[in-house]
Amino acid sequence: MDLTVKKAVQSDVSDILKIWKELMSHHENFDQDSFGMCDCGPGIYADFLSRILDDSEYYVPVAILEGRITGYSVAHITHHPPLFKLMPRGEIVDIAVLEQHRRKGIGAVILSGIIEWFHREKIFRIEMNVAEENDIGRAFWESSGFRPFLRKMYLER
């Protein structure tokens, strides 16, 4: 497998957006109300990506397999109020691989690069969210050494 990972540039945004749409569609299956995408969603996400690509507190890697972007991630440094001992922290916002390329180790390679980036930035705690119903995602994160520490709950009326 001829896989490379590089830092994303502006010309990668349209390919990332295709993967993001697939990711969002996957999550809509879990909870339409929480993950249902509005018509303006792709444009807003594309603008977000364009803004953060040159921000030193964000890292957006893309995985390239056979000349095609097949996965990406968005990771960033978070700053919490000074009442917490451990600051700052790392957060992985998204990580996604095109469905037809999953289970080939691409996500693990992307994650390894993210962990290295955080360590270079002197960030030693990394957090992320995964949907309770996302068995594939939970298995990936748990097999990568992540463990639960907080449960988000909601009430609808």
Domain boundaries, the chain: 3-143
Per-residue tokens: 91? 């957060």
Q: pTM to 2 decimals?
A: 0.90
- 25 half-sphere exposure, CB direction, 13 A CA radius: 10
- Reported residue count of the chain is 157
The CATH classification number of 3-143 equals: 3.40.630.30
Q: Note the pLDDT of residue 82.
A: 82
Query: Which of the 8 DSSP states describes residue 36?
Result: P
Q: Note the pLDDT of residue 33.
A: 67
Give the rounded distance of the alpha carbon of 111 from its chain centre: 9
- 26 half-sphere exposure, CB direction, 13 A CA radius: 19
- Reported as type and span, the H/E element at residue 62 is strand 61-65
Smallest CA-to-CA distance from 93 within 69, 108, 77 is with 77
Per-residue tokens: 94? 């998204």
Which residues of the chain are under the pLDDT cut of 50? Answer: none
Judge whether 104 and 78 are in contact, CB under 8 Å: no
